[in-house]
Structures are given as structure tokens and as C-alpha cells.
């Protein structure tokens, strides 16, 4: 029983992290129908800037709100700087092109951003773990847990609720739904579709950077962290369904719990478990758990 509690706690903490790092990828795809391979780099930029702000402005005794505020600020700065730039200068030119062209373009942006990150922060690991170590810990299931990962569970739940509310209960959500359903018809109804695209990509970029910024206190940051996050994020949203925020949430919980159980009971299958679940889901439901079959327009 105690072991199951520990498996559950670890699984939920990992699931929260997975949701935070994959929400932006699925949101961007949901609106723009572009799989953004630079997602991991936006995550890395958010992580590096978040760590930098923590190292410069957060003392070890900083309050939770002040620390989270700095990390949110880092995410917003990265999203607002990089989002409109990437969407308006690059992506806008390829919406009508084949998916391969879109993938190649975002891959090229990913390579550029990787070098930008190295130019700014270098290659030596950056460590800014004050919130992780200084927010205290709690004993659960007989072992010590820092509060910080559970704080992320709360942030992930809050973010999921916020996104659900925006999409289903606001005018903005209705506009997004209209553009997702048919961009040409939306334009004829008076919706400024290019502006919606810029907004959506920027929001996705902020989400990606937020995932990174909130991760920064837990990991040491080195070049290449974005690539690994992109792979795991893709697995999560493929399980949940591309473009579905709810799917990303469910996918995160499924993967988080499965991986946690694998570490405890079948450590040799740690990594394999995630891709086994993805394979099984895609075999029986190629559109993912919450994805919808899309009719291809000619």
C-alpha cells in the first residue's frame, strides 16, 4: 500500500511536468495545424531565462509567489519575443505548403535557436535550484519529497483549467474554434485570421517557455535539453490526440503513472513503457485518445 502511494505520487509529479512541457505543442498544433519542431528550443530558452532571473533576483528565502512570478515573467518574455517573430517572418509563408515543408522550416528554426541559446548561455551546465531545495519538503509514504514538484501539480491543474475555460467559455475560445474548423469561412465572417494565428503561436510559445521556466529549478540546463523534451512531448500528445489540450492532460497522466510503475516494478522497461503505450494507442486509435479524424481537404 505504501509502495503504491509512492508510485502514485511520483507518477502524478511526473505527469504534471509532462503536461506543462507538452501543452504548448498541442495548443499550437490545434490552431495552426503545424507541428512545431522548435517547441523544445522555446522550452530551453524559457528554462535558461528562468534560471538566469532566479540566479540574479531570487534569494534562497524568496517566497513562492515571487519565484513563480519570475519564472512566469521569463516565459512571457521569451514567448512575446520569439512567438510573433517566428510566426510572422517564417511560418506565415508555409501555411499553404505541404507538411514536410512546414516540418523542415520549424526544424531549421530549431537549429538556429539551439545556437542562439549556446551563444547566450554557453555550454557549461546552468544550475538554479533554489526553489526546488528551499521550498521545504514533506514526508509522504515514509520518504522525503520536496514541495516544488507538487507545486507544479497545482500549476498544471490550474493551467489545464485556465485553457479549458478560455477555449470553452470565452469569445476568444469561440474565435479559435471557428478558425480551427475553417479558416476561409472564419475570414469571411470578419475574423482576422492572421492575427489569430500570431496570437495562437505566441500563446503556444509562452506555454513552451513556461514549461521550461518551471522545469529550470529541477534540472541542470545544458545544450540539447530541448530535443529530449520535444520527443517526450510528441509521445504525450500522440497518445492524447494531436491538438487536444484534454488529450495532453490524459496522455501526461497515463505516461506519468506508467513510467513510475515501470521504474518500481520493471526498471529495465523504463523508457520502453512510454513508447509501448504510444504504439498501442496508435494501433487501435491512430488519431490518439482524444483526437478527431480529420477529413483531408483537397
Partner 1 sequence: MNRYRKVLAGLLAAAGLSLFVATAKADPPAGAPASLKIAVVAFLSGPASGPFGIPARNAADVWIEKINREGGIGGIKVIPVFTDEAGPADKVVTEFRRLALEEKVAAVVGYISSANCLAVAPVADELKELTVFGDCGTARVFEEGKHAYVFRTNAHTVIDSLGAARYLLAMKPDVKTIAGINQDYAWGRDSWEIFQRSMRQLKPGVQVVDVLWPKIFAGDYSTEISKLLVEKPDVVFTSFWGSDLVTFSRQAKARGLVEQSIVLVNNTGSDIKDIPATVLIGSRGPGPIAPPDVEKDPLHQEFIQLYKAKYGLAPNNYIAHGAYHFTQALQGLKVAYESAIKKAGRWPTTEEVAAALAYSTFDSPAGIIQMAIGNGHQAIEPAPFAVIKQDPAIGAHVFTEIRSFPAACVNPPDGMKSLDWIDRGFPGAKC
Q: Tell me the β-bridge partners of 139.
A: 144
Distance CA 147, CA 155 (A): 12
| Non-local CB neighbours of 268 within 8 Å, separated by 6+ positions | none
CA–chain centroid gap for 177, Å, is: 21
- Tell me the H-state helices in the chain: 2-32, 39-57, 64-85, 99-121, 130-134, 147-169, 171-181, 183-188, 193-215, 225-240, 245-265, 270-284
Binding residues with partner 1: total (CB under 8 A): 44
221/238 with CB nearer partner 1: 221
Shortest separation between residue 286's beta carbon and partner 1, angstroms: 26
How distant is the alpha carbon of residue 261 from its chain centre? 23
State the minimum distance, in angstroms, from the CB of residue 68 to partner 1. 18
| Of positions 63, 124, 157, 170, contacts partner 1 by CB under 8 A | 124
State residue 235 phi and psi, 5-degree precision: -60, -40
Distance separating alpha carbons of residues 231 and 250, to the nearest angstrom:
17
117 binds partner 1 (CB under 8 A): no
Q: Using CB under 8 A as the criterion, what x/- string covers residues 48-87 for binding partner 1?
A: ----------------------------------------
CA atoms within 13 A on the CB side of 175: 15
**Of the candidate residues 63, 99, 184, 228, the single one contacting partner 1 (CB under 8 A):** 228
**Closest CB to partner 1 among residues 179, 255:** 255
Cβ atoms < 10 Å from Cβ of 146: 19
Instruction: Find the binder of partner 1 among 4, 63, 120, 133 (CB under 8 A).
Output: 133
DSSP state of 135: S
Q: Which of 259, 277, 278, 290 binds partner 1 (CB under 8 A)?
A: 259
Piece in contact with partner 1 (CB under 8 A), picked from 176-184, 206-214, 241-249, 257-265 = 257-265
What span, in angstroms and rounded, lies between the C-alpha atoms of 270 and 237? 19
Q: 55 Cβ partners below 8 Å, 6+ apart?
A: 126, 128
Binding span for partner 1 by CB under 8 A among 50-58, 95-103, 144-152, 158-166:
144-152
Task: Quote the CA–CA distance of 69 and 154 in Å, as a whole number.
Answer: 15
Q: Tell me the C-alpha distance between 254 and 277, whole Å.
A: 8
Q: How far is the CB of 255 from partner 1 (least distance, A)?
A: 12
Question: Which of these segments, 7-15, 87-95, 165-173, 185-193, binds partner 1 (CB under 8 A)?
Answer: 7-15
- With respect to partner 1, which residue has the nearer C-beta, 146 or 288? 146
Q: Give Cβ neighbours of residue 132 (< 8 Å, ≥ 6 apart).
A: 146, 148, 217, 218
Of 90 and 145, nearer to partner 1 (C-beta) is 145
Q: Residues 162 to 221: which contact partner 1 by CB under 8 A?
A: 215, 218-221
Calpha distance 190→198 (Å, rounded): 16
Site for partner 1 in 266-285 (CB under 8 A): 267-268, 270-271
Distance of closest approach, residue 130 Cβ to partner 1, in angstroms: 11
Residues in contact with partner 1 by the rule CB under 8 A: 3, 6, 9-11, 13-14, 17, 118, 122-125, 127, 129, 132-133, 137, 141-146, 149, 215, 218-225, 228-229, 259-260, 263-264, 267-268, 270-271
Amino acid at each position: 500500500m505504501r509502495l503504491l502511494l509512492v508510485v502514485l505520487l511520483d507518477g502524478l509529479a511526473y505527469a504534471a511536468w509532462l503536461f506543462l512541457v507538452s501543452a504548448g505543442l498541442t495548443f499550437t498544433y490545434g490552431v495552426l495545424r503545424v507541428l512545431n519542431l522548435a517547441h523544445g528550443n522555446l522550452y530551453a530558452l524559457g528554462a535558461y531565462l528562468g534560471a538566469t532571473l532566479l540566479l540574479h533576483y531570487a534569494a534562497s528565502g524568496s517566497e513562492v509567489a515571487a519565484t513563480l512570478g519570475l519564472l512566469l515573467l521569463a516565459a512571457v518574455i521569451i514567448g512575446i519575443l520569439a512567438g510573433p517573430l517566428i510566426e510572422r517572418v517564417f511560418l506565415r509563408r508555409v501555411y499553404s505548403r505541404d507538411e514536410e515543408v512546414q516540418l523542415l522550416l520549424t526544424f531549421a528554426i530549431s537549429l538556429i535557436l539551439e545556437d542562439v541559446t549556446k551563444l547566450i548561455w554557453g555550454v557549461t551546465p546552468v544550475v538554479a535550484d533554489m526553489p526546488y531545495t528551499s521550498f521545504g519538503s514533506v514526508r509522504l509514504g515514509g520518504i522525503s519529497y520536496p514541495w516544488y514538484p507538487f507545486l507544479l501539480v497545482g500549476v498544471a491543474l490550474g493551467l489545464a483549467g485556465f485553457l479549458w475555460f478560455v477555449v470553452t467559455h470565452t469569445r476568444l475560445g469561440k474565435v479559435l474554434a471557428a478558425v480551427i474548423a475553417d479558416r476561409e469561412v472564419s475570414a469571411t465572417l470578419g475574423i482576422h485570421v492572421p492575427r489569430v494565428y500570431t496570437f495562437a503561436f505566441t500563446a503556444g510559445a509562452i506555454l513552451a517557455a513556461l514549461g521550461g521556466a518551471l522545469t529550470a529549478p529541477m534540472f541542470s540546463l545544458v545544450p540539447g535539453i530541448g530535443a529530449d523534451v520535444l520527443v517526450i512531448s510528441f509521445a504525450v500528445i500522440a497518445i492524447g490526440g494531436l491538438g487536444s489540450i484534454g488529450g495532453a492532460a490524459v496522455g501526461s497522466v497515463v505516461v506519468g503513472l506508467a513510467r513510475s510503475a515501470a521504474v518500481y516494478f520493471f526498471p529495465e522497461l523504463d523508457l520502453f513503457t512510454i513508447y509501448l503505450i504510444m504504439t498501442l494507442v496508435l494501433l487501435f486509435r491512430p488519431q490518439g485518445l482524444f483526437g478527431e479524424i480529420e477529413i483531408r481537404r483537397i
